[in-house]
């Protein structure tokens, strides 16, 4: 055996070093921490300034609305006729229209002096024709609008997801049958259903919520069904089925988490439309009934006198617009953040 | 031939929907609280009995349902007991003109403005102009049309005194403000829709080719791109119509326009059964027919849809 060959066969021990037992783990290690679906969505949402600001505004509005259950400036339905039709008065503000002065025949007049309101009594947003405090009424109205929106969204979720999941998952004849029913219902304008419901039940929160629940779930059911049809062909669903997981568990553990993105988006679009519908119905006088305040009834009352007592119309209108714009901006932001198609 | 089948199927669905709606409205109207007569408390039992006999309200519900259906088939919508005992068909036909004019004007204005806004938005994607246009579309979608209507009244009628504040008696001039108020929602919808479509179209190969040929940006967007971006817009005509119907209720009320929407609200408040049922049906027929037309149009324009429809 030649010397060279020997040296190849006999590699000195010093040339070796013990293998790293964690080598595999190191090679497989991902450089960045893994991000869950929600973290990813949240990260995208944070980049959208308008959506983040809207989110904060909504948190503040919801907080104030909830807090006003216990801390309301005055009873929203308490009438005090001597103090009727007072303009807003905010202590320390010296802008006409906010300092207790109102325009009467082109002259600014101190309404609080005229009504002999005692010193130290302020109505921040003024009062209505019965002397009820507008700020308290707006707070109560906001609460009603938000409550209706949340309830409508909840029913939308329950009925829409269940219908869509069953229709998409079962497929075949069940799917065709359920879709035909859905098509027929979709032919009825929402407005018609809402108005018919209001006629049967007594006008109020319940009838508005029922009406919105009856019509609102259609879009959700369609979206969920379409997505379920796609998802059920995926390998992980097949694996779960092969392992004998029940349909119910597949729906809860596999389908719904994967549907959550579109569900969130869809819900966020339901909420502003529910708020709009309540305001709309109350504005034309077939929604909430007096004396209960909602943003729609306040607008309805304010509209009748908006030339002479503009604050009664514009303040509730401003609150309603703020809520609507915030929800729509947030919904748009969430859609961009969670919709897989929007990812670059 | 498949296309013919497709239309037949859609027609069958349309009839099923209409039958369902007419039955539901009939049932609901029968269980409504309240009475269809004015000053009901002043009527003696005998008078009420006579009234019920005169208007056929003493018959059992099943028989009335059949009478109602056969009346519908003949175009007889019943008699409005609250508005001068005139036939509902006459009452509504005198009011349908302003509603249709207002709806068409608003749809035309809203769509055209929305298309222009959306196209410009897509042309300058992610620029200042785009942000501005998208933001105004969101605001247009968010501000309820009744608030917008009051705002218009205040600015253009009360302060500037350019246009009449309400009523329908000054020809075209009195239609401007209500049209604007009603057009804002379709505009916002169309703008958002066209923007998405247009961005896709402008990134396509043929848009690149047009650019390579040295065509101007405006020409590429409005001449080459718009035609293709417009096709999917047909699908939102249905939802848009629904929006306009809803909007017309409140806009017609605010501007005191003698249209269907204003009559509908009046009828609801006064329990005028026959009119409520008729307007409900009218709205449903309108929506169902428009959905049918949209489906057929779409099938004609885009043969792929037709094939997919036939395969199902």
> Cα(B146)–Cα(B295) distance, rounded to whole angstroms?
31
Query: Which residue of A179, A191, A336 to mutate against B (max B Cβ within 10 Å)?
Result: A191
A325: nearest CA partner in chain B = B142
Q: Which chain A residues contact residue B142 at CB under 8 A?
A: 272, 321, 324-325, 327-328
Distance between A69 CA and the closest CA of chain B, angstroms: 27
- Residue A133's beta-bridge partner residues? A127
For residues A115 and A83, is the Cβ–Cβ distance under 8 A?
A: yes
Chain-chain contact of B138 with A299 (C-beta, under 8 angstroms): no
CA distance B238 to chain A (A): 10
Using alpha carbons only, give the angle A199, B253, B187 rounded to the nearest 5 degrees. 105
pLDDT of residue B41: 67
> What pLDDT, on a 0 to 100 scale, did the predictor assign at position B311?
41
CB within 8 Å of chain B, chain A residues 62-121: none
Fold of B96-271: MetI-like fold (1.10.3720)
Task: Give the residue from chain A lying closest to B292, CA to CA.
Answer: A187
Assess contact for B122 and B221: CB atoms under 8 A. Answer: yes
Calpha distance A138→B282 (Å, rounded): 37
Instruction: Name the residue facing B268 among A272, A286, A324 (closest C-beta).
Output: A286
Mutate which: B14, B27, B144, vs A, most A CBs within 10 A: B144
By CB neighbour count within 10 A (0-12 exposed, 13-18 middle, 19+ buried), where does A239 fall? exposed
* Residue B136 CB coordination number (10 Å): 16
- The span from the CA of A141 to the CA of A26, in Å, is 59
Residue A121's Cβ-count burial label (10 Å; 0-12, 13-18, 19+) is: exposed
Which residues in chain B are closer than 8 Å to A324, comparing Cβ atoms? 142-144
CA A198/CA A208 separation, integer angstroms: 7
3-state secondary structure A123-170: CCCCECCCCCEHHHHHHHHHHHHHHHHHHHHHHHHHHHHHHHHHHHHH
- For A187, the closest of B17, B249, B250 (CB atoms) is B17
Query: Which candidate from B20, B135, B284 shows the least CB-CB separation from A189?
Result: B284
**A269 touches B: beta carbon within 8 Å:** no
How far is residue B162's CA from residue A168's CA, in Å, rounded to a whole number? 56
Partners of B21 on chain A (C-beta within 8 Å) are: 187-188, 192
Of B142, B146, B245, the CB nearest to A283: B146
pLDDT grade for B310, boundaries at 50, 70 and 90: very low
Closest approach of A38 to chain B, Cα-based (Å): 25
Q: Is the Cβ pair B280, A199 closer than 8 Å?
A: no
Give the pair of three-digit tokens for residue A48: 């959208």
Tell me the pLDDT band of B309, cut-offs 50, 70 and 90.
very low
Look at residue A169 in the predicted model and tell me its pLDDT: 87
pLDDT-based confidence at residue B36 (cuts at 50, 70, 90): low
pLDDT 10s digits, B92-143: 777 788 888 888 888 889 889 888 888 888 888 778 888 888 888 888 888 8
Residues linked to residue A107 through DSSP beta bridges, in sequence order: A104
Record: contact B143-A328, CB cut-off 8 A: no
Higher local confidence (pLDDT), B21 or B111: B111
Q: What is the pLDDT of residue A59?
A: 92
Residue B77 burial (10 A CB sphere; 0-12, 13-18, 19+): buried
- Record: contact B141-A328, CB cut-off 8 A: yes
Residue B312: what pLDDT? 38
- pLDDT value of residue A340: 58
Mean predicted confidence (pLDDT) in B223-236: 79
Q: Which chain A residues have a beta carbon less than 8 Å from that of B154?
A: 306-307
Q: What is the dihedral of CA A184, A185, A187, A191, to 10 degrees?
A: 170
pTM value?
Answer: 0.80
Q: Tell which A residues from 283 to 312 touch B, by Cβ distance under 8 Å.
A: 283-286, 299, 303, 306-307
- pLDDT per residue of chain A (344 residues) written in tens, 0 to 9: 566 666 667 778 888 888 777 777 777 777 777 777 778 778 888 888 888 898 999 999 989 888 887 877 777 776 776 766 677 766 666 666 666 677 666 677 776 666 666 666 677 777 777 767 778 888 888 888 899 889 988 988 899 999 998 988 888 888 888 888 887 777 777 777 777 777 777 777 888 888 888 888 888 898 888 888 888 888 888 888 888 888 888 888 888 888 888 888 888 888 888 888 888 888 887 777 767 778 888 888 888 877 777 777 788 888 888 998 898 888 888 887 877 555 43
Nearest residue of B to residue A320, measured between CA atoms: B143
Q: Which residues of B touch A286 (CB under 8 A)?
A: 265, 268-269
Domain boundaries, chain B: 96-271
Mean pLDDT computed over every residue of chain B: 78
Chain B residue at shortest CA distance from A281: B250
pLDDT recorded at residue B37 = 63
> B208 pLDDT exceeds 50?
yes
Q: What SS3 class is residue A103?
A: strand
Phi, then psi, of A110 in degrees rounded to 5: -80, 105
CA nearest to B140, candidates A321, A61, A267: A321
């Amino acid at each position: 055996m030649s010397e060279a060959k020997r040296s190849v066969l006999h590699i000195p021990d010093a040339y070796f070093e013990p293998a790293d037992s964690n080598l595999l783990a190191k090679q497989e290690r991902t450089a960045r921490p893994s991000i869950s679906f929600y973290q990813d969505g949240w990260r995208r949402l944070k980049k959208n300034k308008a959506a983040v600001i809207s989110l904060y505004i909504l948190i503040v509005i919801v907080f104030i609305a909830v807090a006003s259950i216990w801390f309301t400036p005055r009873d929203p339905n308490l009438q005090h006729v001597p103090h009727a039709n007072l303009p807003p008065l905010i202590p320390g503000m010296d802008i006409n229209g906010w300092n207790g002065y109102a325009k009467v025949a082109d002259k600014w007049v101190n309404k609080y002096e005229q009504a002999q309101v005692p010193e130290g009594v302020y109505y921040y947003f003024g009062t209505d024709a019965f002397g009820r405090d507008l700020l308290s009424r707006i707070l109560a109205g906001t609460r009603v609008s938000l409550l209706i929106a949340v309830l409508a969204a909840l029913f939308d979720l329950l009925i829409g997801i269940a219908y869509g999941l069953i229709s998409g998952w079962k497929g075949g004849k069940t799917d065709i049958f359920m879709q035909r029913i859905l098509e027929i219902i979709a032919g009825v304008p929402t407005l018609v259903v809402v108005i018919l419901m209001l006629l049967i039940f007594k006008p109020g929160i319940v009838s508005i919520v029922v009406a919105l629940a009856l019509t609102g779930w259609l879009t959700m059911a369609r979206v969920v069904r379409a997505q379920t049809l796609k998802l059920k062909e995926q390998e992980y669903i097949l694996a779960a089925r092969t392992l004998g997981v029940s349909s119910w568990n597949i729906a809860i553990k596999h389908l719904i988490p994967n549907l959550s993105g579109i569900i969130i988006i869809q819900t966020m679009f339901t909420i502003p439309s529910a708020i709009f519908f309540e305001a709309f119905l109350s504005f034309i006088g077939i929604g909430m009934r007096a004396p209960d305040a909602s943003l729609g009834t306040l607008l309805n009352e304010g509209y009748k006198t908006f030339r002479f007592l503009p604050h009664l119309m514009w303040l509730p209108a401003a609150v309603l617009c703020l809520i609507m714009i915030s929800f729509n901006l947030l919904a748009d932001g969430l859609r961009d953040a969670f919709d897989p198609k929007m990812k670059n | 031939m498949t296309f013919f089948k497709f239309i037949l199927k859609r027609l069958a669905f349309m009839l099923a929907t209409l039958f369902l709606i007419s039955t539901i409205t009939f049932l609901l109207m029968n269980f409504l609280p309240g009475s269809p007569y004015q000053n009901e408390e002043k009527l003696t039992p005998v008078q009420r009995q006579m009234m019920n006999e005169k208007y056929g309200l003493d018959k059992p519900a099943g028989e009335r349902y059949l009478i109602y259906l056969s009346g519908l088939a003949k175009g007889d919508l019943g008699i409005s007991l609250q508005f001068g005992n005139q036939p509902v068909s006459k009452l509504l036909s005198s009011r349908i003109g302003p509603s249709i004019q207002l709806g068409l004007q608003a749809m035309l204005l809203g769509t055209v403005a929305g298309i222009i806004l959306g196209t410009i938005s897509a042309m300058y994607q992610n620029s200042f102009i785009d942000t501005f246009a998208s933001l105004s579309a969101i605001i247009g979608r968010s501000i309820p049309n009744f608030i917008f209507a009051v705002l218009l009244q205040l600015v253009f009628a009360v302060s500037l005194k350019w246009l009449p504040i309400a009523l329908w008696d000054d020809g075209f001039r009195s239609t401007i403000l209500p049209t604007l108020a009603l057009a804002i929602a379709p505009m916002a919808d169309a703008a958002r829709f066209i923007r998405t479509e247009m961005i896709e179209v402008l990134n396509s190969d043929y848009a690149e080719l047009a650019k390579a040929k040295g065509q101007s940006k405006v020409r590429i967007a409005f001449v080459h791109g718009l035609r293709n971006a417009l096709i999917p817009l047909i699908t939102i005509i249905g939802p848009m119509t629904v929006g306009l119907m809803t909007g017309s209720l409140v806009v017609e009320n605010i501007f005191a326009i003698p249209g269907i929407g204003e009559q509908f609200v009046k009828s609801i408040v006064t329990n005028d059964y026959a009119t409520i049922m008729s307007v409900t049906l009218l709205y449903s027929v309108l929506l169902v027919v428009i959905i049918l037309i949209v489906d057929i149009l779409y099938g004609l324009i885009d043969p792929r849809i037709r094939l997919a429809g036939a395969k199902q």
